Each structure stands twice: as structure tokens, then as C-alpha cells.
Amino acid sequence: MITVGVIGYGYWGPNLVRNFADTAGARVGFVTDMRPARLSQVTSRYPATKVSTDYRELINDPSVDAVAIATAVSSHFDLAMATLRAGKHVLVEKPMTSTSEQAAVLIEEADRRGLVLMVDHTFVYTDAVAKIRELTQGGDLGEIYYYDSVRINLGLFQHDVNVLWDLAVHDLSIMDYVLSQSPSAVSATGLAHVAGQPENIAYMTMFFDGRLIAHVHVNWLAPVKVRRTLLGGSRRMIVFDDLEASEKVKVYDRGISVNPSPENVYQMLVGYRAGDMWAPQLGISEALHTEAQHFVECIEQKRTPRTDGRAGLRVVRLLEAATQSMAQQGRLVSLAASTPVL
Amino acid sequence: MITVGVIGYGYWGPNLVRNFADTAGARVGFVTDMRPARLSQVTSRYPATKVSTDYRELINDPSVDAVAIATAVSSHFDLAMATLRAGKHVLVEKPMTSTSEQAAVLIEEADRRGLVLMVDHTFVYTDAVAKIRELTQGGDLGEIYYYDSVRINLGLFQHDVNVLWDLAVHDLSIMDYVLSQSPSAVSATGLAHVAGQPENIAYMTMFFDGRLIAHVHVNWLAPVKVRRTLLGGSRRMIVFDDLEASEKVKVYDRGISVNPSPENVYQMLVGYRAGDMWAPQLGISEALHTEAQHFVECIEQKRTPRTDGRAGLRVVRLLEAATQSMAQQGRLVSLAASTPVL
Amino acid sequence: MITVGVIGYGYWGPNLVRNFADTAGARVGFVTDMRPARLSQVTSRYPATKVSTDYRELINDPSVDAVAIATAVSSHFDLAMATLRAGKHVLVEKPMTSTSEQAAVLIEEADRRGLVLMVDHTFVYTDAVAKIRELTQGGDLGEIYYYDSVRINLGLFQHDVNVLWDLAVHDLSIMDYVLSQSPSAVSATGLAHVAGQPENIAYMTMFFDGRLIAHVHVNWLAPVKVRRTLLGGSRRMIVFDDLEASEKVKVYDRGISVNPSPENVYQMLVGYRAGDMWAPQLGISEALHTEAQHFVECIEQKRTPRTDGRAGLRVVRLLEAATQSMAQQGRLVSLAASTPVL
Amino acid sequence: MITVGVIGYGYWGPNLVRNFADTAGARVGFVTDMRPARLSQVTSRYPATKVSTDYRELINDPSVDAVAIATAVSSHFDLAMATLRAGKHVLVEKPMTSTSEQAAVLIEEADRRGLVLMVDHTFVYTDAVAKIRELTQGGDLGEIYYYDSVRINLGLFQHDVNVLWDLAVHDLSIMDYVLSQSPSAVSATGLAHVAGQPENIAYMTMFFDGRLIAHVHVNWLAPVKVRRTLLGGSRRMIVFDDLEASEKVKVYDRGISVNPSPENVYQMLVGYRAGDMWAPQLGISEALHTEAQHFVECIEQKRTPRTDGRAGLRVVRLLEAATQSMAQQGRLVSLAASTPVL
């Protein structure tokens, strides 16, 4: 039985607590939050769980084996570091840290101590993304041509991070899991409509070696909510619409065929293929439940999580590069150059 | 009665012919196309209309008062120039020309001769865009924060121009009509998935003086067709979905309100407003019919068209700058620098 | 403080418990269910709440003031009767009872004892239906011409009631609240696709005095889920789509205008009006929360609930008549004849 | 070469003329309409086609081999009869005639003379309905449980026929082609909202021998346009949405499985299956083009059309029975009794 402590009981914390409480082999032993009112909610729902406004009590509690951190990004590094130093496993909310240097330090610390360091890239644990990965890696799509995502809504403006760190992070974590390549360079643009605040609208293009391109389009100030990702391949294409009640993933047997023109070597003939559409039936498991279970299994079986610290680092590095590019109105930022050595 | 000649009877030419034939005060006197098979279609439908495979016969025909050019972009300049030199008015398909220099030369020639030079920015003549302009210019939206458009489909790959010149041109012409400002700089990215062909996927960000940003997202290789434009203002926001059968334009009474926090001068309080949605009833006139009528009126009344050569030039200049930026993976291209003096 | 007991902790019971637990002025004192496993869930979430597998303990518990009944329809009458006889207020799940006679007996009993008898017509407490009633009663729609609802899905086949009692009951309760008239006759058709089971597909037309007609279309065996209600008036029309995330209620300024033809008195000229569409912003309160609060207020202030026993009876009477008509393949059943005297 | 004459150049006539003009082996030789203004449109588009305001000239013209009738329903019988008596083949607009007796007389006349008598059940010639028939007849759906269609819009009120004859006729013709059974009885309800006019809203249930039920739901006074047909089978189910730009036909691998309960012979266990959805790619041919070609082939090869007079009669018989039932508020009308002997 793994005893989990949860730091932060705001928006996401209650979901973590509920899911760890429902996970076989785990129990929630301790919850902390700086706001006593939040803790009284914990107590009323989970009377057996210890609470405190001081996270250090949780970290130092010998009964706690693993800690889930669901606080503001800026505090992730300190809390995760303290947890690892106390010899406990860590599950940290996305994005993993504020800087790639911090992420690298945490990875090193966890490696040295043999502890599990996992990042809560929730989408990776959905049935939809699992199906997309299966189709992509299994070759059904052919060569991958593009990943293109629109993720907009009238959102919760955040004060400490720009909209890329809040919304694009989902796409970067999906791409990290689904694609077999990492971007080599990034160009991003965006704007802050509220003076003194971070950018609330942003566009991010990622270049890869080869014929793959990715683009993520995020906005906290949109009148409608859109969550639509296109994944184009040479053989088939996927539309992933997370707002669809059913049929979230649609696979289109569409594309082009290219033949050199027999008459003119300089002219390509581009033909179009339009075939059936197919929406695979997806499971209905809650992603966070699958993820909580995976975290517990990784601890018990000393395995590397599907979304380990290195995955978290790769995503943070992209966010860093994009933020840098955005500050310079789209200037290309190479990712090779920004890679910390691990 | 204005006698119109139409050069090019491919995809768009038949629409021009049909609409000029239906326009009071106009008749279609001459149609040319290099393919005799196309011309026999003209003859079967419009037996009174002259045809030829040689556009020079049309341009030199003294009965022709005005010429509509619906050929490949690369031929626009030569055909329009020959037409103007023959003393005839010109309506040229979008994009106006292959370069901004060409556009500037045509404008000068038309000005010197007192001829009407109009560009077929069709969307400007739709009831939807007219309503959007009315709401935008009338102040209903407040300060305009962003223009954001997705225009994708499994399209007709073109050999001579990239996808920006084919699809983004629609958005640039809408923006030119609807917004009161012109972009000051552009950053674009994209990729060609077919070797030796122009880019078939592209993303284009436009910066303005002030808090306005625009983004256009185009793709010839998408499994689904999307035509959705968001126009965000400080007071209201518009969603323009051109694929909706009715309710193409929806106006959302949504946004944010920003107040300096009383406790902390460094912290802004961002509040959200969510009010009613409203879809104004739009007319059902065909845009090209309205446009054909406008062209005829401009000739008769010696007026400057709503989409004159200068509008065409502004759009070409943006496409040029975006193509240049795209070749350098998003490098910012200032529009001030690229402006030809008129 | 009203202490509420809840009988039945299956599908709906947990929602009742959660909402009464969150209602100011109320507490959940007792929950019963025949399945001990369900009760252990209650205990783990609400340790202070008494539980039992015997509903009589709940009904006889002097600390319980009011009882919510969330069991199979066939048990509603006995449980509600026992509750009333114990001098306690009742909230009973819809449909109220299996027969209109049972409903009439309960109304009489509650009246005689001065107890609140309320039926859980949940939709009546939604913000959407409140807005529809406001528009309908306020005259915005003009004369009401029709109520037309499609409510289908791959549903939970029930063994004791047909699909009308499970799904059409929602529409009948909405109509009872929104319209100012009651149907005078009903014709229904349907079929059972599983031998020996109740009808799983049904169509029900209701006639009124005057020019109003209503139709409800329900199906447990549909591949897709639809929840769409049209309310047509002489001036405006409403589309209520309960599956829309936002914009559940859309008001269309559409209709016809009828003028006697000047030339021919026998020929009417029917003209069409097509104006704007408008989607009012709706609140986001949970219907059951509003309803729980209303139940508590009716008890405290000795008021008649919005969905009292008489509303429940009217709905049961319609279901009874429709079931009778369906057994005779659409034979018209008059509602006047079937009315028990109260 | 078959020379076709078209009587009636109103809403549908121009489509017939255009398609016969494009059909190999056919030419449009004559068009009549009572309104001279309509005929001048014919002349301007088809200068070689004869025109007249008197249909008798067309019927008596020896160069005309076959006649397409696109006039008001009430005139179908007289015009078709005159055409057959003149020894010419007939294609008549749907619904075939105003009464089933008239339809039977036409069938007899055509049979006696060996002429082709075809009814313009256009939907039968769409790629979507062809695919639905293929899936239904091929056994992919299993046993057919229901046909359920919603066909509503703010329509063109008609003066001579009720909404069933205008809209439900489409569904009846699709059912006639797709299903292997004919209804044995019908119950219909409806209402006229304009005094003295035919019913503008109607609901029609059809019973079959066995476990099949059909329902058609039509309305000329709806604020939105809906064209959605569900076809439920024991193995799979179809949703046919004619307003979808692509994916008009979706096949759902969903349904129920029924097992007798091992414990209780009176209780069935109903299980649910939810599998993939699949949207077959459909052709893009115009239905009326396919139909015009079929008519010409039937004449040339002396074949019985897919939608012959007997299909037309079956549909008219259903409309007659439904109209009779509707006048009596849903009274069951048996179709066996109303069958004229052929």
C-alpha cells in the first residue's frame, strides 16, 4: 500500500485526491493547502486524511511514500526537490518546472536516489491519445506530415505564465508521446492584451528534421471553446476533437498521391484520395485514474513512467524556446542549442 | 450598356460570365480561353458571345469596354497591362499580381488613363463580411484585439503559388476591408510536403501598431474543410463560419474586464463577462453578383471601387512579405520597408 | 434545519444526497437501500448519516422531517403513502406513481395532513426551462403552435415501464410547466423489439383545444443521443438542445404571416419571415440544487411546490393515456374521460 | 436519340431540362409552361428547344418520344394519361397522382401500351440511398427494427396538398426502395395552423408485419432545417443526415444483445454493444442525372424502371391512408383494405 500526500487542493488537487483514493494499492494520507477553508473540505470528505497548511509536515511525515504536487508552476521545483530529498517519489503537475535547468536538476536528483519522478501530462493517459499513438506508431497514417492544434476558450488568465505554458503544454505533451521525433527549432508569436500581464494569445510553429511541421494555436480570450487537433499523414489523417461527446477520434482515409508527370519532369501530378471515415470506439476510463494507477505501479515495480522527468524536461524546453521566440516576434530558436546536458 | 470581355474560362471564369450576363447595364461580349473545349461550352450557353483562343482579339475588340481577367496569377500583370493600354477598364482575379511592383505599375497606369482598376476580392462583397465591417467600424466590438482565421481543406494543390496566395489571400482581403489598420510586420512559417512544389501548409502572424494581432492558418492537405474566422474585441467577439448554412455570423457578448487590484498595484484583476449570443439575419445575395454590379457602376459613375488596385496592392505586399518570412522560418519582415512608393 | 431521509441509493439517489447535503437549512440524516454495498458508499462519503437496508427505520425515525424517494416507479406509491402517514413531507422521483389513481390518493393524503408533496420533475428547475417559460408566458413567442421533442439514445432498457414513462416524462413535465394549457386527447404508437419487454420506441401526439399540437419522440435503441425540443409560436420559435455545451436555448425570429389574398377569398397568402437568432445567456446552477432548496423552502414556508402532486398527477395521467393508446395502435384517448376527480 | 419534352418549368422543371440536356442519348426537344416569362428563360438558355404555353402541342408533337411532367400534383393524372394515350413514355413528378385509383389507371394504361411509366422518386437515385439499400439488403444491419425520419424546415406552404404529400413522400419512396416490406397499417396525426389550409405539421407511424416500425415527422413551420433519418437494425444502425456536406451516411456498430436470464425465465437481460462508427465514402453524382439516364435506358432497353408506376402507387396509397388517419386523429388505417387490385 502506497501512501500518497497531495500538496495543493485548488482546481486540480481534488481530482488527484479522488483518483488516488480510488486506486487499488494506494491511499491518500495527507493533504496540504495554504487556505484552511480548502482543508476543511478535505476533512469533510476524507475524515481519515491528515491535513495541514504547512507542506513541510507532509514531506516530513514518515508514513507518506509519494507526493503529488498540484501548486503554481513557480513552486514546483522547490517542492519537488524537497520531496526527493526526503526520499519520496514525486508526481508533479504540468508544466514540470519554470525552467529547463530546474527540470534537469530534478531528474538528476531522482536518478541519483532511485526515486520515481513523474509529470502529470494527463492527456497521455486518455484513451483517445492512446488510440492516436497506436495508429501513428503502427504506420496506419504513413509518414507524419503535420500536427496542428487549436486550443482556445474564454479562459482563466494566469498571472505567472503565458498562455503557452497553460494550454500549449497539453499539445506538447501529446506530441512528445505520439510522435517519434522532437522539434529541432521553434518560432512563436503572440500578444498580451492586458498591460503588464503575460501573453494571452499565442501561435507556435515547430520544425523537425524532415517533412514534419507542427503548429499550436492557443487563446484565453476566445468567445467559443475549441479543442481540435489534426494529425496529417501520407496515408491517413486524424481529427481529434476533445469536445465531441463520442467519436472524439476520426480517421480519414484521405490524402494525395504524387506522381512525376510523364510529359514534364519538372511538373508533379498531385492526385487526391477521398475514402471512408472511421471513428474507433474508445474506452471510457478517466485519464487521471489510469495515470494514478501507473504512478503507483512505477513505484512498486521500480519502472520508468510513461511521462517521466525527461518527458517533462522536453516539454519545458519547448515552452522556454517558444517564449523566447515570442518575445522576439517569431525569431527562430533552435532547440539543439538550448538543450541542457543530462 | 457596358460590354464585358472575360479572359479565362476555367474554374472562376464561368461564374464571372454568368454574373455579368445577369447584371443590369452589362453584357458579356467576348470570352477567351486557350482551350477550345472550354469555348464550345461558352457558345452552347451564350450563343451571342464571341469567343477566341487568342486574348488579343478580345482586348483589341472595339466593342469591349471592360475586361475581367480570370487566369493564373502569373499572367495577371501582362493581361491587365495590355487591357489598360487598350483603354479598357479591368477587373482582375485575386491575388492581383505576382509582385507588389507589378501591382504598383498597374495602379499608376490606370490612374494616368482614368480607367477603373478593380480586384476581385470576392469576400468583401458578401453579406457576411458587410455585416462584420458594420459591427467593427460601428464600435460594437470595442477595440479590436485579434483577427484569427482557419481556412483549410483537401485542396487543389497549385503549382505556381503557395497556399498563402491561394487561401490566405481571402483573409487578407477581408482584413483590409474590415479593419482600420494595416499590418506593420509579418512572421510566417510553412512547409511543402511535395518535393519541388510550393508550400501547402502555412501559418502567418501579422503585427500592428497597438494591441491588435492577426493570424491566418491555411492548409491544402487537411482531411476536413474549415472556414472559421474569429474577430475578438474588447466589448464583443465575432465568430464567422462560412460553412454554416445559416447563422454564418455570430456575435458574442463576451470578454474580460480588467481592474487594477486595490491591494496590489502590480496585480491586475481579470474578470470574465459572458452574455448573450446573437446571429444577425444576413441577406442572400450572391457576392459576385453584387461585385459585378459594383464594377459596372464604378465605370459608369467614374467611382473608385471598394476593392481598387491599392487594396489589391496592400494584399499582394502582405503575401510577398509572408512568403519571404516563410522562406526564413518565421523571420520578422517589416511592411514599411517593403512598401513601394505610389 | 430540515433533516432529509433518502430512500434508494442507486442511480439518482446519490445526486439527491449530494444536493441536500449542500443545501442551506437541510441535512441528510438517513439513507436506505436494499443493497448493503451501496450503503457502505454512503458511510464512506457521509460518515454522520445513518443507513439501513430497511426503509421503515428511516420513515419511523423521529429525527427525519422529510423523505426523498428514489426507487423504482412501482414502489413510489407505497413508500410515499407510508411517509405521509408517518407525518413527513415527501419528494418523489418522477414519474410520481404507476397509476393516476395512486397519485390522486397521495394528493388527498398530503392535503389532509398539510404536508408538502413534491414530484422531482428536474427539468422544471433548469435555467433553460425557466428561460423558455419566461419567453412563452411573456408573449415573446406569440400564440404557441407546437411543442415537438426528440429524446433518443442507446438507453437503459427498463423492465417495469415503457420508454414513455422513462423519457417522455421529461417532456410532459416541461410542457406542464411551460404551456398554459393541458392536452385534451392523446394518440400514441410504439413497439417493443425485445419479446416480453415494454415498448422501447414510442411516438406520442397530444391534442389541445385550439391550434396547439405536441409530439414527443422517444427511443432507447438509437445509435446517437438527441435531446432537441422545438417550440413554435406565431411570432418566434425556440430550439432547446440540451446537449449543447452553451447556447442550449436559441430563439429564432422566424415564422409566417398570413393574409387573405385580395384576389381570391379562398386563397390565403402565406409569407415567410426570417430574422435574427438570439441565444440568451443562461445561468449555470445545477437544477437539482435549485430543486432541493425549493423543497426545503416549501416545507419551511408551507408553500405549494412548483411541481406539486397535482403536476405529478397530470403527467401520470398523460402517460397512462398514451400507454393505453399505444396498446391500440394510435387510438385517440380523451383525457377528460380519464380524469380522476380530486 | 430519345427526344424528351418537359411540361412545367417552375421549381423542378429547370433541373429536369438541364439533366436531360446533359444525358447521352437524350435531347430536350420541347418545353411548355403556362407562363410565357418562364418560356423565355428556356429560349435564352436552350435556343434549339421548342416552347409553348399549351402542353397539347408538346404531347402531340411527333418528334417527342417521352414526356417529363413537373406540374402541380392535381394535374399529374390528366397530363400523364394524355401522354400515354399519345403513345409516349412518361416520367412523372412525385407524388405520382392525387389518388391511388388514378395511379392504378395509369399503370394499367402504360402496361397495355408497353410504355415506360416512371415516377421521379429522386432520393432513390442518390448515392447515399443506394449505399443504405446495399447495407440493408446485404444483411449488415441484421433484422431491421425501425425507420425514423425527421424532415422539417420553414417551408413553402402548399395550397393543394398537406405536408405529408410534400415532405413525407421522400421518406416513403426511400423506404419503398430500401426495405423489403410494405406497411400493413398507418396512424397519422397533424394540424393546420393556417385556417382553411392543409396540415403543415404531421406525424406518421407505419406498422409492418413483424418487429419493424416506421415514423416520419414533417413540418413546414420549423425554425431550423433538419433532414435526419435513422435506420435501426439488430446488428448495426445508420444515421443518414442529408445536410452534412460529407459523411451523409454513418454506420454505427451499436445495439443490444438479449439473453434470457439464467435465474429467471421471465426476465430478459438486455446488454449494450457500442463499437466503431464508419462513414463510407459516397460518390458525388447528381441524383437527377442518374435518374434521367435510367429513364432513357429503360425506354431504349424496354426495362422496368427502379421507380415504376407500382412504386409510385404504393407511395400514394400510403399518403392517402395517412391523410385519412390524420383527419381522424390517429385512427389506424389498414393498408390491405385500401389496396386497389392491379
Q: Are D330 and D187 part of one and the same domain?
A: yes
SS3 content of chain A, % helix, strand, coil (to 5): 35, 30, 35
CA distance B110 to B117: 6
User: Strands, E, within B245-324: which ranges?
Assistant: 249-260, 268-279
Residue B157's pLDDT is 82
Please report all neighbours of D, defined by 3+ CB atom pairs within 8 A: A, B, C
CA distance B192 to A37: 56
> What's the mean pLDDT in C187-206?
95
- Indicate the range of A325-334, D169-178, D276-285 predicted with least confidence: D276-285
B 286-305 residues with CB below 8 A of A?
none
Interface test with B, best of D18, D42, D44 (most B CBs within 10 A): D44
Residue C177's pLDDT is 98
* Cα C253 to chain centroid, rounded: 28
Interface test with B, best of C247, C249, C250, C281 (most B CBs within 10 A): C281
Using the Cβ of C241 and the Cβ atoms of chain B, whether some distance falls under 8 Å is answered with no
Q: Are A74 and A92 part of one and the same domain?
A: yes
Say if C27 falls within a structural domain: yes
CATH code, domain carrying C96: 3.40.50.720
Residue C268's pLDDT is 57
Is the separation of the CB atoms in D229 and D135 below 8 Å?
Answer: no
> In terms of CA atoms, which chain B residue is nearest residue A224?
B239
| C109 CA: distance to closest CA in chain B (Å) | 45
Kindly compute the dihedral angle of the four CA atoms of residues B134, B136, B139, B142, in this order, to the nearest 10 degrees. Answer: 160
Q: Are C71 and C156 part of one and the same domain?
A: no
User: If you compute the radius of gyration of chain A from its CA atoms, what whole number of angstroms results?
Assistant: 22
Q: Which of A253, A274, A279 sits opposite D277 (nearest CB)?
A: A279
> What's the mean pLDDT in B118-125?
98
Q: Are D111 and D169 part of one and the same domain?
A: no
Say if A313 falls within a structural domain: no
State how far the alpha carbon of B313 is from the alpha carbons of B119, B183, B280, B338, B341, in Å: 9, 13, 32, 12, 11
Is the separation of the CB atoms in B208 and B184 below 8 Å?
Answer: yes
Say if D255 falls within a structural domain: yes
According to DSSP, residue A235 is labeled: S
Using the Cβ of D225 and the Cβ atoms of chain B, whether some distance falls under 8 Å is answered with yes
> In terms of CA atoms, which chain D residue is nearest residue B42?
D45
Q: Is D43 helix (H, G, I), strand (E, B) or coil?
A: helix
Is the separation of the CB atoms in C97 and C108 below 8 Å?
Answer: no
Say if A248 falls within a structural domain: yes
Would you call D194 and C148 a contact, using CB atoms and an 8 Å cutoff? Answer: no
Q: Are D73 and D150 part of one and the same domain?
A: no
Q: Are C228 and C82 part of one and the same domain?
A: no
pLDDT exceeds 90 at position B260: no
User: Strands, E, within chain B: which ranges?
Assistant: 2-7, 26-32, 50-52, 66-69, 89-93, 117-120, 144-154, 185-191, 201-207, 213-219, 221-233, 237-241, 249-260, 268-279, 333-334
Q: Is B321 helix (H, G, I), strand (E, B) or coil?
A: helix
- Indicate the range of A40-44, A52-56, D59-63, D310-314 predicted with least confidence: A40-44
- Counted domains in chain B: 2
What are the chain A neighbours of B196 within 8 Å (beta carbons)?
Answer: 266, 268
Residue D208's pLDDT is 97
Q: Is D111 helix (H, G, I), strand (E, B) or coil?
A: helix
> What's the mean pLDDT in C7-28?
95
pLDDT exceeds 60 at position A340: no
Average model confidence (pLDDT) for chain A?
94
The backbone region for D303, taken as left when phi is positive above 0, alpha when psi lies in -120 to 50, beta otherwise, is beta
Task: State the complex-level ipTM.
Answer: 0.93
Q: Are B130 and B212 part of one and the same domain?
A: yes
Q: Are D255 and D328 part of one and the same domain?
A: yes
CA distance C143 to C131: 17
Nearest to D28 by CA among D59, D53, D69, D64: D64
Residue C188's pLDDT is 98
pLDDT range class, residue A239, cuts 50, 70, 90: very high
What are the chain A neighbours of C18 within 8 Å (beta carbons)?
Answer: none
What are the chain C neighbours of D267 within 8 Å (beta carbons)?
Answer: 159
In chain D, the percentage of residues whose pLDDT exceeds 70 is: 95
Burial B52-91 (b: 16+ CB within 10 A, else e): beebeebbebeebbbbbbbbebebbbebbbbbbebebbbb
CA distance D59 to B235: 66
Boundaries of domain holding C25: 2-121+287-307
What are the chain C neighbours of B282 within 8 Å (beta carbons)?
Answer: none
* Residue at grid coordinates 427526344: D3
Average model confidence (pLDDT) for chain D?
94
CA distance B95 to B77: 11
Residue D257's pLDDT is 80
Average model confidence (pLDDT) for chain C?
94
Using the Cβ of B245 and the Cβ atoms of chain D, whether some distance falls under 8 Å is answered with yes
Is the separation of the CB atoms in D278 and D267 below 8 Å?
Answer: no
Q: Are strands C268-279 and C185-191 parallel, antiparallel or unpaired?
A: unpaired
| A134 CA: distance to closest CA in chain D (Å) | 16
| C253 CA: distance to closest CA in chain B (Å) | 9
CATH code, domain carrying C268: 3.30.360.10
Residue D261's pLDDT is 62
In chain A, the percentage of residues whose pLDDT exceeds 70 is: 95
CA distance A31 to A55: 8
> What's the mean pLDDT in B207-231?
96
Interface test with D, best of A140, A239, A273, A281 (most D CBs within 10 A): A281
Using the Cβ of B154 and the Cβ atoms of chain D, whether some distance falls under 8 Å is answered with no
Q: Write out pLDDT tens, residues A240-260.
A: 999 998 899 999 999 888 776
Q: Write out pLDDT tens, residues D75-113.
A: 999 999 999 999 999 999 999 999 999 999 999 999 999
CA distance B180 to D5: 57
Angle at A17 between CA A11 and CA A20, to 5 degrees: 140
Kindly compute the dihedral angle of the four CA atoms of residues C259, C264, C266, C268, in this order, to the nearest 10 degrees. Answer: -20
Helices B100-113 & B73-85 angle (0-180, nearest 10): 20
Would you call D47 and B47 a contact, using CB atoms and an 8 Å cutoff? Answer: yes
How many CB atoms sit inside 10 A of residue D313's CB? 23
Say if D340 falls within a structural domain: no
Q: Are A189 and A63 part of one and the same domain?
A: no
> What's the mean pLDDT in C171-191?
97
Residue A341's pLDDT is 45
Residue-wise DSSP of D266-327: T-EEEEEEEEEEEE-------HHHHHHHHHHHHHHHT---TTBHHHHHHHHHHHHHHHHHHH
Is the separation of the CB atoms in B259 and B267 below 8 Å?
Answer: no
According to DSSP, residue C308 is labeled: B
Q: Write out pLDDT tens, residues B8-55.
A: 999 999 999 999 999 999 999 999 999 999 999 999 888 889 999 999
Say if A342 falls within a structural domain: no
Can you read off the three cell numbers belonging to residue B270? 481579470
Say if C340 falls within a structural domain: no
Q: Are C115 and C128 part of one and the same domain?
A: no
Nearest to A245 by CA among C102, C225, C292: C225
CA distance A268 to D211: 57
Is the separation of the CB atoms in D159 and D240 below 8 Å?
Answer: no
Residue A245's pLDDT is 87
* Cα A225 to chain centroid, rounded: 19
Q: Are A133 and A274 part of one and the same domain?
A: yes
Say if B341 falls within a structural domain: no
Residue B290's pLDDT is 97
> What's the mean pLDDT in A59-82?
97
pLDDT exceeds 50 at position D53: yes
Q: Are strands B201-207 and B185-191 parallel, antiparallel or unpaired?
A: antiparallel
Residue A160's pLDDT is 85
Q: Are C174 and C225 part of one and the same domain?
A: yes
Would you call D245 and B243 a contact, using CB atoms and an 8 Å cutoff? Answer: yes
What are the chain C neighbours of B284 within 8 Å (beta carbons)?
Answer: none
* Residue at grid coordinates 536516489: A113
